Amino acid sequence: MKILLFGGTFDPPHKGHMNNLQAAMDCVQPDKVIVMPAGIPPHKKASTTDAALRLAMCACFTALSPKVEVSDWEVRQGGRNYSVNTVEMLHSRYPADSLYMCVGSDMLLSFTRWYRWQDILRMTALVVESREAGDAAALHAAAEELRRQGATVLLAQAQAFPCASSDIRSGRVPRSRWEEVLPPNVIQIVKDNGLYTCDADKNG
């Protein structure tokens, strides 16, 4: 069985995330997809949005395929969580299966600075999505360097989506454009819980 891990803070998940996951699914053709909202990622500030709400918003990904499930494992761990911890958990849970982990192009370029990155490569194949126009050359160079060290690196062709979660939180994407960038269930949860409202209202 092929298992695809798609992790992130998802504060909030947006249509760019959905495009990236769809591209990774098209590339890998997995039997199971695990969407894993982060608890406290070591390389970012902790999310100020309640984990239960981020988990609920991630239900948007299940619309892509019945193979998609959302896991609260990282959230339940408490404290900071490294990717290798999650990969080890999945490797022990599915010892006979093939693991694939999605990473953005920005993450691939700094991958050799990740905590225990060699162990991640030993247990998983990387599925890389380009997140910025013009990063192809650097991305291919980084992928080739990791392959020379024995890694399996697949490049997924994701549709470009010029938006980041931070744009929504900060109000750079105003409320009038939320339908363009956010799935319907995410918009409903955001409105019901007053998320991002003050920042977004400053910009219309």
pLDDT in tens, 107-154: 898 999 999 999 999 999 999 987 665 677 888 899 999 999 899 999
List pLDDT tens digits, range 62-82.
Answer: 999 999 999 999 999 877 789
The answer for residues whose C-beta is within 8 angstroms of residue 2's C-beta and 6 or more apart is 28, 29, 30, 31, 32, 97, 98, 100
Please state which CATH class domain 2-160 belongs to: alpha beta
List pLDDT tens digits, range 147-195.
Answer: 998 999 999 988 778 888 999 999 899 899 999 999 999 999 999 999 9
Domain coordinates in residue numbering, the chain? 2-160
Strand partners, 125: 100
Q: Give pLDDT, residue 23.
A: 94
Output the average pLDDT for the chain: 89
Residue 9 predicted with pLDDT over 60:
yes
